[in-house]
Structure 1
Amino acid sequence: MGSDRCCAIILILWVSIHFLLGSLAKKQDYLPPPTNLTFGMDGMFCPVFQWNPSENTANCSLKYSEIFLAKNITKKGKGANTYYKTHVREVDINKEILFTVQAVCDNTNIFSNNTTLSVQIATGKGNPNTSVRNFSCIWYHLEYVQCTWTPGRDAPPNVNYTLFYWTSGEIHCPFNLLQPKQFHDLLPTGSSCSNYTYSNGIPTGCQFKFQKAIASLSKLVTAVSDWSKEVKPYLYYVDANSIAKLKPPVISAYRTENGSIHVSWNNTAYEKVLYEVLVQKSNSKIHENYKGINELSKEIPNAASDVTYTAKVRVRVSELSISDGHFLWSDWSEEQTLQGESNGRDIAILLLLLIPAIIIVAAVILLVYMRRLKILIFPRVPDPGKVLSSDLQQWLKNGRTVYNEPRKEEICPISMLETPLTSPPVE
């Protein structure tokens, strides 16, 4: 009896759950997904996704759940707008991204099916291997930007890359929504670069003026294309401060009365910057680095008077003024050298090193030229038998050698005249 009652209870629960799931499924089918999901760009800094609202939702407070996939990061949002706008710094604008939107009946918590759009923001239809590679830009001395790149692997031999650029001070996209445009329609709105560098007749770099203050936090977008549908455009977004390479400081250094070295520099044209001082001692191979200096001078204490110090300084943008945390150091300034004072101890050490060296060199020379030195000290005695005459008494009497070298005989050539035996007849 008890077992029959348990089976009846389980059957009732199963029927109830099945009925509930069926009713929920019917309500799920009631809310259709959004339609006509499209992509455009509200200027070069703001990608925009748009869709049409779900139909037959009169009894529903409709909202939309967006999922944005880029750089292996999933971002979610929820709102009643039928569009989603983001800033280009949030995505890798040269790779394919996925955007998914789902309708939500907020008062009943009913969801529709997903609508997903696969988007290539740089909407050129060319082969990706025709796009430029190894693209980079440097902002030199807050005066001009130099961009360089390598042609694509499959780029046509006569490809003519063209660089356009846009600047903005906005970190986020504006709230108002303009009519989104396609990428190629926005190219004429950019500034065109004209100072190109070439390699084998193909543009591989360009330089353009860009004079801004560091504090302005300017954003920079560049696009490289050739106006051809065969070549895929390349888009590059960067915080301008992160590619700024400032001028090296002009420095001076001197010794103070309290035994320190004072290094100062004049670089007041820049704000929100940090300096690094590098000091080298003559008695050490290890450099001393002083980083994170936000003033215009640095004092190095306990400087030995008999040591030579060499100092140089470089500068970069402060990390507080840029968003992505990458910096470029300037070149090092000209070195400033402070000579150390020499003393008697140094001279004594120098002599102790030089004297043994001189002795060793002299000994080597003596060993090499010992035979010649022996000849100079003990000259060779000539053999009297080869020099003197056999009559030694006559040599002693006259007091000089009687030996004379034989003179060379003069030989006169002789010629013979032959007389003929017969004389010619006389006429």
Structure 2
Amino acid sequence: MNAFEIIGGKKLKGEIQPQGAKNEALQIISAVLLTDQKVTISNIPDIKDVNKLIELLGDLGVTVERLSKDTYTFEAKHINLDFFQSDVFKSKGGSLRGSIMIVGPLLARFGKAAIPKPGGDKIGRRRLDTHFLGFEKLGAKFVYDPKKEFFNVDATNLKGAYILMDEASVTGTANIVMTAVMAKGTTTIYNAACEPYLQQLCKMLNRMGAKITGVGSNLLTIEGVTKLGGTEHRMLPDMIEIGSFIGLAAMTESEITIKNVCYSELGIIPEVFRKLGIKFELKGDDIFIPSQKHYVIESFIDGSMLTIADSPWPGFTPDLLSIVLVVATQAKGSVLIHQKMFESRLFFVDKLIDMGAQIILCDPHRATVNGINKQYKLRGISMTSPDIRAGVSLLIAALSAEGTSTIFNIEQIERGYQDIDTRLRALGAQIKRVEASSPSH
């Protein structure tokens, strides 16, 4: 098993380029199935979840050509629909949560699809009902086979519909949009997610010939068309990486420049880090974070303790709450972290407590952090990464800690972060990949 060995407590310095956005990639790459024409996509992150999806498309019959490290062309001219019933599809599709994203485009174009029960993170229940309720409203019928753990979906007669979504799910909205673009008539989606990644998808589909209005709002109107064409698309930088690097700079007292961040698409994220007392400035489209010895958490105007909670866009993304929690451990002041969306995402705090952080886990959704104002450094320990975002939070903690830390199960980190050890070493981090047997605890 691979692990990261980190010698912490070193100040880092330099420039780092965020990768393309993982959460955008899964839906954008799935959208190539909507047309038989060539689609070119650039700034694709070279990470396991994305590479698995690209491989799955190749197995389905999509002609995939890699032009450079981050640029691919896709041509979905000859799709093998029988592949759905194969054991290969069951094992590959079942190991990748993102595989649900190919269902919408296939329903729209071919009128049928199948999907094995998907896997993914251990961060609590992530329902797929939103996707299927949307497909049903558009006229799809699906049957779950509990023995094979397969969903078979028939959508030979898709019709536009009014859909009030039960939750503003990003992947759910994306999947329903991709299904509706070729349904007969008008579809209205209310309580739609409006994340920049979803806006990117809608803009790409419109360039392909779709008719989507209301992009950027929570009310989307889609006029169905009969055919979509090819296009070129460049993905946004990953806002979760950008937030992670801001946190890393603060924790390690480092001077770091994050390059080409598409600042206008970051929403409330920079402001939340400012509330933790982190100073930075915008230089062109780069974020420059100076070396800071101390940072002080703001309180609310009435003097009460700051609460940082996740909520659908334009609220604060749940993917950065674990980063905020780690950064707060070394701040001056206290903050309540409220993780509303997923019930298991705070369960990594025991590792931070072992490192010397002062955290009270109130319940599965809330943790109070008492910042120690860098009066002492966290101490290095051995730990295991439970999911992508917690893994990077622990990595940041280890880089700021005194002594040596070992992080096991780094496959979880690498599902979301490309060449993370190489890029951190370029900033001066002492991190290396080692072969290690997993700890017993």
TM-score bracket, shorter-length normalisation = under 0.3
Q: Which structure has the bigger radius of gyration?
A: 1
More helix by share: 2
Give the TM-score taking structure 2 as reference length.
0.24
Q: Does 1 or 2 have the higher relative contact order (CA < 8 Å, sep 6+)?
A: 2
More strand by share: 1
Give the TM-score taking structure 1 as reference length.
0.24
